[in-house]
């Protein structure tokens, strides 16, 4: 390994989570966003920025905060069950009377994908990850596009994907994310001559509780990334919000933000 790269990887990276957003003022004025996985760490960071930009949010999740925040409505929905999907969509719509942005942020990775092996993967591992990461994303996007077209809304759809869908893998998680990427690019192409924009954000390792214990200031060092660090949930949320807020409409389809890991 080259000396300069080794020094970069071994450097002690730290970040202070000070809550500054750095997004244009009023970026989401009058807009309503629906965020699946909206009560998780990345989902919460996204909703904070949309509210700060003048928008309102419907946050879908399997856990509902004890205390609500201004401009946010919470809806319990486990995406493992899509049987009442149309009813849930109407429930989202009823919160603020319209939807301008749909963010498919929910994702699931099995314990075997994290810590197990190819030979230990089960039908349940496969089905649960395909359900949330691929099937739900497909049909929720379908419902959002139908609504946008019917109501002549210049909607934005942002899929939070993963570098796991780019690298070669045996894991059902990565396979489900690869399928979601193919769909995202295909849907973006299908709608390219409309006023609807579809984006996919593919992070690498993000500093969340799934990986580390969070404190106000943390070491982000990550040797497997060329830039030597993980991303923060705030950084991913900023990218999602720039795309959702109509500031990056010259782009379409997949946006990779993995610290260069997919280049290796």
| DSSP line for 95-148 | HHS---EEEE------HHHHH--GGG--HHHHHHHHIIIIIHHHHHHHHHHHHH
Burial (Cβ within 10 Å: 0-12, 13-18, ≥19) of residue 158: buried
On the question of pLDDT at 217 being above 70, the answer is no
Tokens standing for 205?
Answer: 């390792």
pLDDT in tens, 119-128: 988 999 899 9
Q: Read off the pLDDT band of 227 (50, 70, 90).
A: low
- Report the relative pairing of strands 72-76 and 14-16 from DSSP bridges: unpaired
The CATH class given to the 29-203+233-263 domain equals alpha beta
Q: Read off the pLDDT band of 214 (50, 70, 90).
A: very low
Cβ contacts of 221 within 8 Å, gap of 6 or more: 9, 10, 11, 12, 13, 228, 229, 230
Residue with structure tokens 């260069």?
260
Q: What global pTM score does this model have?
A: 0.84
Mean pLDDT of the region 116-139: 92
pLDDT in tens, 41-85: 899 999 999 999 999 999 999 988 887 788 999 999 999 999 999
Mean pLDDT of the region 205-226: 54
**pLDDT given at position 215:** 44
8 A C-beta contact, residue 244 and residue 103: yes
Hey, where are the domains in the chain? Answer: 29-203+233-263
Distance CA(201)–CA(185), nearest Å, equals: 11
Q: What is the DSSP string of 233-264?
A: HHHHHHHHHHHHTTS-TT--EEEEESTTGGG-
């Amino acid at each position: 390994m080259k000396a300069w790269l080794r020094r970069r990887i071994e450097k002690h990276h730290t970040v202070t989570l000070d809550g500054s957003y750095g997004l244009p003022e009023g970026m989401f004025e009058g807009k309503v966003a629906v965020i699946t996985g909206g009560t998780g760490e990345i989902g919460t960071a996204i909703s904070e920025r949309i509210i700060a930009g003048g928008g309102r949010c419907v946050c879908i999740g399997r856990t509902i905060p004890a205390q609500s925040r201004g401009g946010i409505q919470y809806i319990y929905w486990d995406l493992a069950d899509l049987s009442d999907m149309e009813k849930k969509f109407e429930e989202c719509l009823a919160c603020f009377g319209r939807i301008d942005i749909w963010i498919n942020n929910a994702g699931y990775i099995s314990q075997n994908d994290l810590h197990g092996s190819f030979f230990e993967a089960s039908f349940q591992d496969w089905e649960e990850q395909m359900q949330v990461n691929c099937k739900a994303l497909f049909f929720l996007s379908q419902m959002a596009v139908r609504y946008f077209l019917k109501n002549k809304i210049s909607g934005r759809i942002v899929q939070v994907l993963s570098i796991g869908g780019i690298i070669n893998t045996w894991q059902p998680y990565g396979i489900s994310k690869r399928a979601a990427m193919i769909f995202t690019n295909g849907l973006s192409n299908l709608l390219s001559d409309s006023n609807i924009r579809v984006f996919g954000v593919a992070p690498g390792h993000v500093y969340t509780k799934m990986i580390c214990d969070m404190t106000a200031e943390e070491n982000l060092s990550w040797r497997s990334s060329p830039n030597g660090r993980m991303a923060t949930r705030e950084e991913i949320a900023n990218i999602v919000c720039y795309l959702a807020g109509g500031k990056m409409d010259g782009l379409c389809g997949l946006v990779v933000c993995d610290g260069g890991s997919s280049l290796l």
